[in-house]
Amino acid sequence: MFGAPGRRAVEARLRGLREELAVDFCIVNGENAADGRGITAKLAERILAAGADVITLGNWVWGQAGFAPYLSGSDRVIRPANLSPATPGRGLTIHDGVAVINLLGTMTLNPFESPFVTADRLVEEALRETPVVIVDFHAEATSEKIALAYHLDGRVTAVLGTHTHVQTNDARVLKGGTAAVTDAGMTGPHDSVIGSIPEGAIRRFTTGLPVRLEPADGDVRIEGVLIECGADGRATSCELVRVPVG
């Protein structure tokens, strides 16, 4: 979910979509909620009030000053689990019988621990409580996201990629019963360079200067992935969701 346009779309449409698609549980990646750079306590509360059950984060987890105390006190907003254990917050939560794990990829994002190592440990911990385990893998590299899905196939319900903002056409259920998609897409402005006004992004690439990126607002869509699973936690379907808004 990207910026104010993404949040407005979630606030206007998420409740209705949940009903229409008979959704039992909804996870929103909120790390770009505050104009693309992190999230605040107030924004997190608004997303939860709009119908998200759990909010995951990513590389922008510390993008907004003063967010750490809220993160420490929440069991519905989680950060990547493979950051240093000395940082606030948690990377696994179990809410309404669904375990959600948030992980950060290695390429360009430099996590504290390998996501594969952290995943092995946390999946085991989650499976002691519930068979339904969803992983939000916030990562840059397609290969790393697909590799983690295969690594966890048969052990978790889904491995869903986020961070690159462009929905990939590979939603599927792997042989062991794990749903997977390389990138779930972006809820936000699609007339943009992954959420931001193109001119700023182009200036960055043509000058190499640290140009501040501003959020765009055109062609807003809700994007995501819809997973069905059995009581054993195995996925039975995995479909892309793409809904134009306004």
Interface residues toward Fe ion, by CB under 5 A: 58-59, 163
Report in angstroms how near the CB of residue 158 gets to Fe ion at its nearest: 19
CB 60 within 8 A of CB 38: yes
Of 59 and 74, which CB lies nearer to Fe ion in the complex structure? Answer: 59
Supply the minimum distance, in Å, between the C-beta of residue 80 and Fe ion: 10
> Is there a contact between 128 and 99 (Cβ–Cβ < 8 Å)?
no
Nearer to Fe ion, 36 or 51 (CB): 36
Please, what is the minimum distance in Å from the beta carbon of residue 190 to Fe ion?
17
Cα 153 to Cα 47, 107, 143, 185, distances in angstroms: 30, 22, 15, 22
CA–CA gap between residue 169 and residue 47 (Å, rounded): 26
Shortest spacing between CB 138 and Fe ion, in angstroms: 6
Nearer CB in complex with Fe ion: 102/118: 102
Closer to Fe ion by Cβ: residue 39 or 50: 39
Strand-pairing partners, residue 138, are 104, 162
Q: Cα dist. 115→93, 121, 122, 136, 225 in Å?
A: 16, 10, 10, 11, 22
Closest CA to 28 of 147, 194, 188: 188
Shortest Å distance, C-beta 79 to Fe ion = 12
Query: What secondary structure, in 3-state letters, does 105-156 show?
Result: CCCCCCCCCCHHHHHHHHHHHHHCCCCCEEEEEECCCHHHHHHHHHHHECCE
Q: What does the alpha-carbon distance between residue 179 and residue 163 come to, in Å, rounded to a whole number?
A: 18
CB of 82 to Fe ion, least distance (A): 14
Q: Would you say 146 or 235 has its CB closer to Fe ion?
A: 146
Distance, in Å, from the CA atom of 29 to the CA atom of 164, rounded to the nearest integer, reads 12
Q: Which is nearer to Fe ion, 79 or 163 (CB)?
A: 163
